Homo-oligomer: A and B are copies of this chain.
Amino acid sequence: MDVGFIGLGRMGRGMVASLLRDGHKVRVWNRSAGAAEGLDGATVVESAAEAFRGEAAITMLADDAALRSVIVEGGLLDGAERPGLHLSMSTISVALSRDLAAIHARAGVPYIAAPVFGRPNVAEAGELNIVCAGPDEAVARAAPLLDAMGAKTWPFGPEAPRANAVKLAGNFMLISAIEAMGEACAFAEGHGVPGADLLDLLTNTLFASPVYKGYGASIAANRYEPPGFNLKLGAKDVRLALQAAEAVGVPMPFASVLRDGLIEAMAHGDADKDLAALAKVSARRSGRG
């Protein structure tokens, strides 16, 4: 397919590589120049508008502000040439997704929310898990793109914001797993058991899953650099989850604990460490930090 791709961070670059590998024709654009280097086969365009056209446009930006800036404030939906569909893959708020769905409907551009689970190397391999919600017909047309980027696409019906809610729920569970490991390790250490030994047992048995193994390894090694997923981005996702929860009347005490812990971590200089550094908070609170 002829597709435009906006947002060439580590995740975006991996996704573009997967699209190219599958034979798609990709125009790429990034706010800061130079991000497209090494993406052999992609066509670098000069403006977001040139990327936002063709059979499909894909956006993979850092946060609400970036997406809002490019799409809404950039006036992309008012342009003469517009894409056949917009595959919006950033992790953003449910509220912004709802706004975007409405704006796209008025502009006559099908809007699909398709946030992903997976780290940059998984994106590079085209093995992401993609959470997808949007109009059936548009989702069907986007299938070749989704297949190129993902190991599996998980459909959540026609209402786009639901995919964003699912993504936030998943990240909330992921960060909860880190907090649970952090507290468990502080507890174990207090009783003379190295946290690494505890995690070796648990992440190879009851909790033998990617999230526990991956973050557990960082915690066991007390190694939080270079970051795979920045702690401050995790804090942003918890904030979005709390806001979306409040909007529909759902208390989330675990998310509240995460919020307080992440703020504490950032107040102690760990904003740009890996999210697993949340575990340091439990150690510090117990006087072992």
Contacts and interface: CB of A to CB of B under 8 A. Distances in A.
A205 B208 CA distance: 11
* Chain B CB within 10 A, most for which of A156, A253, A266: A253
B244 A266 contact: no
A102 interface: no
B184 A173 contact: yes
A68 interface: no
A206 B117 CA distance: 8
A115 to B, nearest CB: 12
A205 B250 contact: no
A251 B165 contact: no
Nearest to A128: B205
B261 A253 contact: yes
Contacts of A268: 287
Copies per assembly: 4
A187 B208 contact: no
A244 to B, nearest CB: 7
A259 interface: yes
* Chain B CB within 10 A, most for which of A129, A176, A282: A176
Given A192-B162, A206-B174, A208-B209, A251 B260 contact: yes
A139 to B, nearest CB: 16
Counting chain A residues whose Cβ lies within 8 A of the other chain, the interface size class is: 35 or more
Nearest to A269: B287
Contacts of A181: 173
A260 B253 CA distance: 6
Interface stretch (A4-12, A80-88, A193-201): A193-201
B257 A245 contact: no
Contact of A184 (B152, B169, B186, B198): B169
Nearest to A162: B193
A287 to B, nearest CB: 4
Given A169-B184, A285-B285, 9 more contacts: A94-B191, A165-B192, A168-B187, A170-B184, A187-B245, A190-B250, A209-B212, A249-B267, A252-B260
Closest 8 pairs between A and B when the two form their complex, measured CB to CB: A190-B248, A256-B256, A209-B209, A267-B287, A165-B191, A251-B260, A249-B267, A176-B180
